[in-house]
Structure 1
Amino acid sequence: MTPFSASDAALEGFHLIRRSWRAILGWAGFNLLALIMVVVLSAVLSVIAAAVGGGTSTPVLAFAGFAGGLATLFSQAIIVGGVFRLELRPAEPAFLHLRLGRDELRLVVVWLITLTGVWVVGWAATLLGQLIGGGGVLVELLGAALAVYLGLRFLLAAPVAFVERRIDFVRSWRLTRGRVWALLGMSALSICLIALLMIVVFVVLAAIATAAAGLDGLAVLFAGTEALQQHPAVFLLAFAVEIILIPVLWVLGIAPLVAAYRAFTADGDAAPVNLKPETGGSAA
């Protein structure tokens, strides 16, 4: 079995940011454009809903929310696909390594299946806990532990879907056999590093906002768009940081999966992969 360092894998995202920071800044620009498109789409559909139904409580308005959520999901899948492509297929034709094609569609499907599985496990544990009564808390804890275990065993479903171009949770199960503790350590360290980064960013933003506008500036960090008129500079700074931070967090969360996939498939368990770009995709 190829040696696998959980700490090295958890730090892979930071190495990728250091090597390809220009591309990641470009992803922040794409993230901004995607957000603008989602807002415009939702606004247009909301106007249509108001015109058709004479109010806001119409099926068209519900569809507007669904369409906005779906567009956001695909925009984030494009960024995640960019992380995989930058790490695994850097020579593939794509603008800033971003494309919208079958690879990204498979990632969305994997996410939806995973979220559905987590919901089913949580629902079953909650229902069983209510039926048992006094021991319900223990059942819910066991359900949470089961969800974590299954999540670790299927952790490589996303890189499998991208690299091997197939949705194959069984393949992830085989690759992670005997490596659950290593993956748990990698995931825990990655989460801690991401949390630490977010805390540092928030502390710096809070210091800048307080220095610029006192406690009112600090409140801007917790307010919505209504704070734009009160302290526009602080609001725009926080908004810009958020736009840049989203692709950075994706890199820090996804790059360790690439490192794990590489290490685990180095044992000769790698499946034949056609690295030619699939037809039907378009550069983002």
Structure 2
Amino acid sequence: MSFSATEAAFEGFRVVRRRPMALIFWTLFYLVMIAAALAVLGGSLIGLMSTVQELEQAGGTPTADDVMPVLQAYLAIFAVILPFSLIASAVLYAAVSRSVLRPNESRFGYLRLGMDEVRVLVVSVALFLIFTVLSVVVFGAVGAIGGIAWGSDLPALWIVVVLLVCAAIALFIWLAVRLSLAIPITMAERRIAILDSFAFTKGRFWPLLGMALLAAVMSIVVGLLGSLVAMPIQLAAGNMDALTGLEDESLQVILQTAWPAIAAWIVVNAVMSALQLAVVYAPFSAAYRDIKGVQTDAAV
């Protein structure tokens, strides 16, 4: 079927225009996730910031023993954030795909907790593992060659290293594009589909890459506009001037002083993140829909 990269790239804006309430639901979902994350990790985050603050105040060059508590605290937080992020992303990715492929299932802003989300989570974890393992192997090999070049007197080896880095980046871009329709296929066909994406993207690499780049540029523009909107809102939220002279205060004191501005930033950021989610991910579902020739009933 015919596939227009330019048309697909603007699908996120069409989704929000058709169902503005979806943006509100996605924003609320972001806020709930942020609140849950802070409830679970708030103490750990404050502890991490306090440890870093103490390390900075100690002065001098920190030793490995000094840095180890910071690293351990960071890894402990990451161990909680990663699965939390994957689950939340699966719910949101499924909602965006549903908004394109099943536009009439619009209640609750297309958000669900069901087998669709479980399948999307499985595919997301699989893709994460594929890219993680491949990154370790590819960049590990490039790093090993770079180590040889560092210890040798052969400048030509550095040319080889640069070429290998470029080739590795090209490989990851190619693979990302070829697997980019895995989640839309999984949602549309209600089954776990990963490698099926290769068949749908065959011969369409450059249009899909152009679509992804255009969507990324629009997401950046949305983020910049969001920053412009957030600035006066944060100032209106108050007490930004009260931060003057608090550079040496603890994190708790800073939060107590600036919480209205911080809260305003979180809300605005949640709205912009929800819009960016639609802008970035809806095009891939639209691409699958157009390539497959899926007929959808337009939401009213």
**Same fold by TM-score greater than 0.5:** yes
2:202 aligned with 1:177: yes
Write out per-residue CA displacement over residues 68-97 of structure 1, whole angstroms, 9 at most, x where no aligned residue: 532332122212211122222244486332
Structure 1 distance, partners of 2:25, 2:272, is 12
Which among 176, 181, 193 is matched to residue 151 of structure 1?
176
Aligned to 1:248: 275
Write out per-residue CA displacement over residues 164-201 of structure 1, whole angstroms, 9 at most, x where no aligned residue: 12222231100111000000100010111101111121
Going from structure 1 to structure 2, the CA distance change for 1:9 and 1:225 (only over 3 Å counts) comes to farther
Q: How does 1:53-68 map to 2 (within 5 A)?
A: 66-68=79-81
Aligned to 2:114: 101
Deviation of the 1:216 alpha carbon: 5.3
Aligned to 1:85: 98
Which segment drifts farther, 92-101 or 61-70? 61-70
Write out per-residue CA displacement over residues 148-176 of structure 1, whole angstroms, 9 at most, x where no aligned residue: 10111111001111111222223110011
Gaps in structure 2 of 5+ consecutive residues: 46-68, 150-156, 295-300
User: What is the one-letter code of the residue matched to 1:249?
Assistant: Q
Going from structure 1 to structure 2, the CA distance change for 1:137 and 1:250 (only over 3 Å counts) comes to same
Going from structure 1 to structure 2, the CA distance change for 1:241 and 1:225 (only over 3 Å counts) comes to farther
Matched residues, number: 252
Which among 190, 194, 219 is matched to residue 165 of structure 1?
190
Structure 2 distance, partners of 1:120, 1:141, is 18
Cα RMSD of the aligned pairs, angstroms, is: 3.3
Aligned to 2:223: 198
SS at match of 2:195: helix
Write out per-residue CA displacement over residues 4-38 of structure 1, whole angstroms, 9 at most, x where no aligned residue: 22111111101111111112202211222233233
TM-score, normalised with respect to structure 1 = 0.76
Aligned to 1:70: 83
SS at match of 2:108: coil
Write out per-residue CA displacement over residues 207-258 of structure 1, whole angstroms, 9 at most, x where no aligned residue: 55468646959x99xxx87643333332221111112222222111111011
Write out per-residue CA displacement over residues 246-276 of structure 1, whole angstroms, 9 at most, x where no aligned residue: 222211111101110011102xxx7xxxxxx
Structure 2 distance, partners of 1:45, 1:240, is 23
